[in-house]
Amino acid sequence: MNEQQRKEQAQIKQVDAADRKSGQEKPLSEKTSADFAKYFETTYEPPNLNKARKRGRDKVNVHYDFAIPEDMERIGEGKKFLIRTYGCQMNEHDTEVMAGILTEMGYESTSDTNEADIILLNTCAIRENAENKVFGEIGHLKPLKLEKPDLILGVCGCMSQEESVVNRILKKHQHVDLIFGTHNIHRLPHLVKEAMFGKEKIVEVWSKEGDVIENLPKARKGKIKAWVNIMYGCDKFCTYCIVPMTRGKERSRRPEDIVQEVRHLAAQGYQEVTLLGQNVNAYGKDFDDITYGLGDLMNDIHKIDIPRVRFTTSHPRDFDDRLIEVLAKGGNLLDHIHLPVQSGSSEILKKMNRKYTREEYLELVRKIREAMPNATLTTDIIVGFPNETEEQFEETMTLVEEVGFEAAYTFIYSPREGTPAARKKDDVPEEVKKKRLYRLNELVNKQSAESMKTYQYQKVKVLVEGESKKDPDVLAGYTEKNKLVNFKGPKSAIGSIVEVEITEAKTWSLNGVMVENTVEVN
């Protein structure tokens, strides 16, 4: 989308009450998607998965001109906002951006729904149960909205990019005031203004691509670890996945903007950054003026004085030798690599459109281990992809053992409307899928427990994040390999990297004691 289109789309036309009446020949409950599309025409363009799938070759524009409009700068004074976040780190970080924008508009954050003047649900569309949770929450908030009609209730994030979801909200959840998509976050001040002063529901979702908007404010959660987006969108189109449609095409931030952001975070005292993208290994592929990939970016970030640098999520297909070579330099580049495999069967991987085979994945693991012998690998796995056979599932089990994953996010396949896999007939009963998931989880737990045991009586470096949720007298933090450690130590250690001796290894965490002379690691 170019700047001209962006400006044009910025003009939300409201439907006034008279227009609305003339469009309501049918009762709301009988309206179909087509009826709502008519309604959309006068307000905005409806989200459209087909359109989202069609990638333009338009140049990605980077904008540095974000500003809160003057008349909105103090509109939130004396008011509060609450953003509830569902899903992945990308959503967590989008929430930080929205919180930054609202803070610049004068709003304060609250965790109490009763106190809030704006409630935003930043949603996830990846699996059906994620969506169900959001619809449950929309329902729970209805009495509050009826009691406080001035409350602005908004739904944003990936679910808002789905036409069926928007239709369902418009049809059944009339108390929602505002729906906006993942490409429309920078429009938040305007959308809030429309919701505040307009009479009509505000819906603004752009189906295609999106640009890169650079100078958005961020209210980061905490002062120790920070997320840094390096790219947006995904062009991989795995057949089960909704993300390429909800997040638009792959577009990378300019290296200088990322390096500057990381430097700034280092100067503020942050100890760890995680570089974010749906497929970070595709970083830079969309640049037409420079040849610069994730390996080059990591090499530049390696030189910045920040103790820990992570990245997520990697796609095995684009994980190149240059990146391995740079990661092997170590230093602040941590050798914990999250490398989603999804399945151990080449046939299933083909059906998933993952573009690598079991053998190619294992070869990549071999290369990583050769360059970084102590590297820890974790993964994502989907069980019960349509028509997955028992043998194919067994191949996943043997791959998990062969690689020796120390942790895995495991999921039962969830059909997502608009994706190719969702159109497939599936002969695997849900009970069978659940049993497979159970067996896989048993194996992953066993491997995790075994890896934890190797830390017994060892000293590890822990970035101390705060008090343990279970016991305020215990501190908690993560090792370089992302293992959770609980230990007794002084509160003054929070925010720094300290040495802890491990006294007890559990399945998913370690217990220990802080070593007297703590170390700052750079």
Residues belonging to the binding site are 88, 124, 158, 234, 238, 241
- Distance, in Å, from the CA atom of 229 to the CA atom of 258, rounded to the nearest integer, reads 8
Which of 6, 175, 236, 433 binds ligand SF4 (CB under 6 A)? It is 236
Site string for ligand SF4, 450-489 (x = CB under 6 A): ----------------------------------------
Question: Which residues, in sequence order, are CB contacts of 255 under 8 Å at separation 6+?
Answer: 284, 290, 292, 296, 297, 300
- Distance, in Å, from the CA atom of 97 to the CA atom of 99, rounded to the nearest integer, reads 5
Q: How far is the CB of 481 from ligand SF4 (least distance, A)?
A: 23
Which of 33, 62, 237, 439 binds ligand SF4 (CB under 6 A)? It is 237
Stretch that binds ligand SAM, among 70-78, 186-194, 237-245, 329-337 (CB under 6 A): 237-245
Cβ–Cβ under 8 Å, residues 322 and 300: no
Of 114, 110, 164, the C-alpha closest to 135 is 164
Site for ligand SAM in 272-301 (CB under 6 A): 278-279
- Distance, in Å, from the CA atom of 248 to the CA atom of 233, rounded to the nearest integer, reads 5
377 binds ligand SAM (CB under 6 A): no
Q: How far is the CB of 408 from ligand SAM (least distance, A)?
A: 9
Binding residues for [4Fe-4S] cluster: 88, 124, 158, 234, 238, 241
243 binds ligand SF4 (CB under 6 A): yes
Which of ligand SAM, ligand SF4, none lies near 382, with the C-beta cut-off 5 to 8 A by kind?
Answer: ligand SAM
Site for ligand SAM in 406-425 (CB under 6 A): 411, 413-414, 416
**What's the per-residue H, E or C state across 406-428?**
CEEEEEECCCCCCCHHHHCCCCC
Which of 79, 127, 187, 218 binds ligand SAM (CB under 6 A)? It is 127
Nearer to ligand SAM, 91 or 479 (CB): 91
- Distance, in Å, from the CA atom of 387 to the CA atom of 268, rounded to the nearest integer, reads 51
Q: Compute CA distances 188 → 98, 182, 443, 447, whole Å.
A: 7, 11, 45, 45
Omega of the bond leading into 313 within 30 degrees of 0 (cis): yes
- Distance, in Å, from the CA atom of 229 to the CA atom of 277, rounded to the nearest integer, reads 6
Q: How far is the CB of 414 from ligand SAM (least distance, A)?
A: 4
- Distance, in Å, from the CA atom of 77 to the CA atom of 458, rounded to the nearest integer, reads 52
Q: Compute CA distances 394 → 106, 140, 257, 398, 435, whole Å.
A: 56, 42, 45, 6, 12
Which of ligand SAM, ligand SF4, none lies near 244, with the C-beta cut-off 5 to 8 A by kind?
Answer: ligand SF4
Stretch that binds ligand SF4, among 131-139, 144-152, 239-247, 324-332 (CB under 6 A): 239-247
234 binds ligand SF4 (CB under 6 A): yes
Nearer to ligand SAM, 108 or 235 (CB): 235
Which of ligand SAM, ligand SF4, none lies near 416, with the C-beta cut-off 5 to 8 A by kind?
Answer: ligand SAM
- Tokens at 448, concatenated: 């995790």
Q: How far is the CB of 329 from ligand SAM (least distance, A)?
A: 25
Which of 145, 218, 315, 481 binds ligand SAM (CB under 6 A)? It is 315
Residue owning tokens 């001040």: 189
Nearer to ligand SF4, 313 or 376 (CB): 313
Question: Do strands 212-213 and 497-505 pair parallel, antiparallel, or not at all (unpaired)?
Answer: unpaired
CA-based angle 40:43:46, to the nearest 5?
A: 35
Q: How far is the CB of 236 from ligand SF4 (least distance, A)?
A: 4
Site for ligand SF4 in 264-283 (CB under 6 A): 278-279
Distance from the first to the final alpha carbon of the chain: 42
Interface ranges with ligand SF4 (CB under 6 A)? 234, 236-238, 241, 243-244, 278-279, 315
Interface ranges with ligand SAM (CB under 6 A)? 88, 126-127, 240-241, 243, 278-279, 313, 315, 340, 342, 380, 382, 411, 413-414, 416
